[in-house]
Amino acid sequence: MRKITAVKYDKNGEIETYQLNTGEMVTKDKAFELVHSGEISGAILGVNEYGRRVIYELSENVNENGKKNLLNTN
Protein backbone atom coordinates (compact mmCIF):
# COMPACT_ATOMS: atom_id res chain seq x y z
CA MET A 1 0.00 0.00 0.00
CA ARG A 2 1.29 3.45 -0.89
CA LYS A 3 1.79 6.27 1.62
CA ILE A 4 2.56 9.96 1.25
CA THR A 5 6.07 10.65 2.50
CA ALA A 6 6.79 14.22 1.37
CA VAL A 7 5.37 17.24 -0.41
CA LYS A 8 6.87 19.75 -2.83
CA TYR A 9 5.71 23.36 -2.65
CA ASP A 10 5.65 25.95 -5.41
CA LYS A 11 7.03 29.49 -5.01
CA ASN A 12 3.70 30.64 -3.51
CA GLY A 13 3.83 28.00 -0.79
CA GLU A 14 1.10 25.84 -2.30
CA ILE A 15 1.54 22.11 -2.63
CA GLU A 16 2.58 21.17 -6.12
CA THR A 17 3.29 17.44 -5.87
CA TYR A 18 3.32 14.62 -3.36
CA GLN A 19 6.03 11.99 -3.03
CA LEU A 20 4.90 8.46 -2.21
CA ASN A 21 6.85 5.75 -0.41
CA THR A 22 7.31 4.09 -3.80
CA GLY A 23 9.35 7.10 -4.96
CA GLU A 24 6.54 8.14 -7.28
CA MET A 25 5.69 11.88 -7.52
CA VAL A 26 1.99 12.69 -8.05
CA THR A 27 0.00 15.89 -8.50
CA LYS A 28 -2.49 17.16 -5.92
CA ASP A 29 -5.41 15.92 -7.98
CA LYS A 30 -3.86 12.47 -8.42
CA ALA A 31 -3.14 12.25 -4.67
CA PHE A 32 -6.78 13.02 -3.94
CA GLU A 33 -7.87 10.33 -6.39
CA LEU A 34 -5.53 7.79 -4.79
CA VAL A 35 -6.69 8.59 -1.25
CA HIS A 36 -10.34 8.49 -2.36
CA SER A 37 -9.90 5.10 -4.01
CA GLY A 38 -8.05 3.69 -0.98
CA GLU A 39 -4.75 3.30 -2.81
CA ILE A 40 -2.95 5.52 -0.26
CA SER A 41 -3.12 4.19 3.28
CA GLY A 42 -3.22 6.15 6.51
CA ALA A 43 -5.03 9.15 5.03
CA ILE A 44 -8.53 10.49 4.54
CA LEU A 45 -9.96 13.42 2.59
CA GLY A 46 -11.52 16.44 4.23
CA VAL A 47 -12.22 20.15 3.97
CA ASN A 48 -10.48 22.68 6.21
CA GLU A 49 -12.01 25.72 7.88
CA TYR A 50 -11.37 27.78 4.72
CA GLY A 51 -13.30 25.36 2.51
CA ARG A 52 -10.18 23.94 0.90
CA ARG A 53 -9.64 20.25 0.26
CA VAL A 54 -7.09 18.62 2.55
CA ILE A 55 -5.63 15.21 3.16
CA TYR A 56 -5.63 14.20 6.80
CA GLU A 57 -3.21 11.66 8.23
CA LEU A 58 -4.69 8.95 10.42
CA SER A 59 -2.27 8.53 13.30
CA GLU A 60 -2.01 8.17 17.03
CA ASN A 61 -0.97 11.83 17.27
CA VAL A 62 -4.36 13.32 16.52
CA ASN A 63 -6.23 16.50 17.38
CA GLU A 64 -9.54 16.76 19.18
CA ASN A 65 -11.38 15.83 15.98
CA GLY A 66 -9.44 12.59 15.63
CA LYS A 67 -7.43 13.85 12.63
CA LYS A 68 -3.97 15.24 12.05
CA ASN A 69 -3.68 17.73 9.21
CA LEU A 70 -0.95 16.24 7.07
CA LEU A 71 -1.17 18.06 3.80
CA ASN A 72 -3.09 21.23 3.13
CA THR A 73 -3.62 21.66 -0.58
CA ASN A 74 -4.43 25.37 -0.42
Q: What is the pLDDT of residue 39?
A: 96
pLDDT digits (tens, 9 = 90+) for 19-33: 999 999 999 999 999
Q: What is the pLDDT of residue 60?
A: 55
Has this prediction a pTM greater than 0.95? no
Q: What is the residue-wise DSSP string for 11-67? A: TTS-EEEEEETTS-EEEHHHHHHHHHTT-BSSEEEEE-TTS-EEEEE-SSS--TTS-
Tell me how crowded residue 53 is: count the other CB atoms within 10 A of its CB: 15
Q: Are 67 and 54 in contact (CB under 8 A)?
A: no
